[in-house]
Amino acid sequence: MVMNALEAAPAPPARLKPAAAAPARPSRLYTEPMRSVGADLRARTVGRVLAMPVRERIALALALGDEDLELFARSSGLDRAEALRRLRDGRRRGRRPSRAAGDAMR
């Protein structure tokens, strides 16, 4: 006769008294944790962006990129074309040119 593993295991002993609850430990922190204003703002912003239609999200991303380019150009004392060229050059700096791309990368 083959016995199932559960049938062969002995029953656990019955407890006579219920287990006592562990005593509450005082917090090791000097103060209670504070809510992060930045985390709250980030959560609201992400919620608003995710509620936008895809076209509006893409338009927002492009507008933010244009604002960043303008800010970089003004802070560096460059015109828009020169700022864009420097950013593109910086992106390629340190990378090995692809043979497949040929002169397109230069």
The tens digit of pLDDT for each residue in 3-17 reads: 444 455 555 555 555
pLDDT at 46 over 60: yes
Rounded CA separation 10/60 (Å)? 66
How high is the mean pLDDT of the chain? 79
SS3 of residue 24 by DSSP: coil
With a CB cutoff of 8 Å and minimum separation 6, the contacts of 68 are none
pLDDT at 64 over 90: yes
pLDDT at 49 over 90: yes
Rounded CA separation 34/71 (Å)? 34
Per-residue pLDDT, 50: 93
pLDDT at 105 over 60: no
Residue 91's Cβ-side half-sphere holds a number of Cα atoms within 13 Å equal to 8
Rounded CA separation 83/69 (Å)? 7
Find out whether 92 and 106 touch, Cβ atoms under 8 Å: no
Per-residue pLDDT, 6: 47
With a CB cutoff of 8 Å and minimum separation 6, the contacts of 106 are 97
